[in-house]
Amino acid sequence: MLAGEPAPTGPARRGAKPPVFPVAAIDDPALPEVLAELAAARADEMDADTVNRELSIARKAIGWWQRQGWIEGDPTIGIERRPAPPDRTKTLAENQIAALWRLDVALREKTQWKMLYESAARADEVLCLNVEDLYPQDKRGKITAKGGATEWIHWQSGTAQLLPRLIARRTRGPLFLTDRKAPAGTPTLDVCPETGRARLSYRRAEEIFEENTRLLANPLASPDDIEDLDGWTLHRLRHSALTHDAEDGTSAPMLLARSRHASVRSLERYARPSVDSVARHVAERDPAARRRT
């Protein structure tokens, strides 16, 4: 937006080069008005969370440039964060989770999605796992959590059964790999020393999940329209796992340990019953259903 260019979308995002923009131009008196118009146009195209995240990133960069003495002004002053109404449908129903496991996808995706749901871990944490971080016999792995702390995540039998096939005979390097050799310049830590393939990126993992779940997210859509519709996000696996835990009576201390949140208030988003739970409650109170049973 600072350069007055639209952000690339879809496949064009991969490998897109950012425009050249002199940092000193941020002090241009005309920029705040131009930026406000561009931000408003961006807000019409994207959801509130995306717009707010981009605004936050821009402000952090501008603050850093100011501390370096490179610029004086902040052209984002006056641009307000967009209200983001809560999404009450983030939790996937049990039949949706079951349908997800039935999808015909690669072993890498099966393992990754199972691990995300069973561990309730964040997607970026799981994607940063290395083979040497795993303790398969204990069904757990060592991750770098939000904030930089080293912590454990735990999984269940579904992930435990898939992991040996995914790892094969590898003993080190990224757990989840791309299908191709790593391009030149890829950081050593993100390259498997045994296969030469690169670590799977969050962006690519999200794209694959979104593409494969479009039909599940839009069950009434026709095949001709499915390309224009959105699938699920990886974060919904974590959200669903913690909500299902809460519904099953998991204690607050255990939910805090599973979610690795610092505050009990952060658990409120998972305390809301899922659509399955509400449906069962309504069915149990249905007089016609009680007469049939």
Q: Can you tell me the distance from the alpha carbon of 73 to that of 64, in angstroms, rounded to the nearest whole number? A: 12
Q: Can you tell me the distance from the alpha carbon of 251 to that of 61, in angstroms, rounded to the nearest whole number? A: 40
Neighbours of 136 (CB within 10 A): 14
Nearest to residue 206, comparing CAs of 10, 3, 7, 15?
Answer: 10
**pLDDT score of 6:** 72
Q: Which residue has the higher pLDDT, 5 or 258?
A: 258
Q: Which amino acid is located at 234 in the chain?
A: L
Residue 179: pLDDT band (50, 70, 90) is very high
Nearest to residue 189, comparing CAs of 127, 97, 108, 254?
Answer: 127
For the question of whether the overall pTM of this predicted structure is more than 0.85, the answer is: no
Question: Crossing angle of helices 107-119/235-247, nearest 10°?
Answer: 40
141, HSE (Cβ side, Cα atoms, 13 Å): 27
**pLDDT score of 280:** 63
Q: Which two tokens stand for residue 106?
A: 């690669």
What residues have CB less than 8 Å from 212, skipping those under 6 apart?
A: 103, 105, 109, 231
E-state strands within the chain: 134-135, 140-144, 150-154, 177-181, 197-199
| Structural contact between residues 148 and 168, judged by C-beta atoms closer than 8 angstroms | no
**pLDDT score of 48:** 80
Q: pLDDT digits over 38-61, tens only?
A: 888 877 777 787 788 888 888 999
Q: Can you tell me the distance from the alpha carbon of 140 to that of 129, in angstroms, rounded to the nearest whole number? A: 11
